[in-house]
Amino acid sequence: MAQTEHLPIYKRSYDLCLYFEQIVKNFSHYHKYSLGSDLREGARRVLRLIVRANSRRDKTAVLLDLREELEELKVLLRLCHDAKAFANFNSFEHAIAGLTEIAKQNEGWLKSQQQGRGPTGAGQNRPAMPDRLAEPSVP
């Protein structure tokens, strides 16, 4: 199985999972076991999709699933905010900023996959050396 700990998207998603664990503790009893539970589970699904994408050769389908999951999580965060589940606005702001960052990283990863590049996204399709050296130009 491929290593994931080095990926910035994995690190940020893991941190967001931990953050959700902490902030849901401050939700009211009513929100903790409904919205909070959905929020925590959604963050864990995002993390699982990142691990799954990293272990596949063709990552596009999983990254598209990840895009969808991130959008659903954004809607859920907005619902939590509107339902006043967050103790303060800073908690919501930090959560939505982290989620937006993960979504941007996913879009970059998806773009590199759709362009036929490998995991680094740079120079995977170019030959190491030109087939033929350039002829010197004659004046």
Residue 123 has pLDDT above 60, yes or no: no
Annotate 22-61 with b (16+ C-beta within 10 A) or e (fewer). ebbeebeeebbeebbebbbebbebbbebbbbbbeeeebee
The DSSP H or E segment spanning 71 is helix 60-82
d(CA 5, CA 44) in angstroms, rounded, equals 15
Residues 128-138 have a mean pLDDT of: 45
Average pLDDT over residues 7-25: 96
Domains of the chain: 8-114 (1.20.1440.60)
Helix (H, G, I), strand (E, B) or coil at 96: helix
pLDDT grade, residue 137 (50/70/90)?
A: low
* Half-sphere exposure (Cβ direction) of 21: Cα atoms closer than 13 Å: 7
**Token duo for residue 30:** 């009513």
pTM of the model: 0.79
- pLDDT given for residue 6 in this prediction: 87
Q: What is the pLDDT of residue 115?
A: 87
Dig out the tokens for 62 from the structure.
């999983």
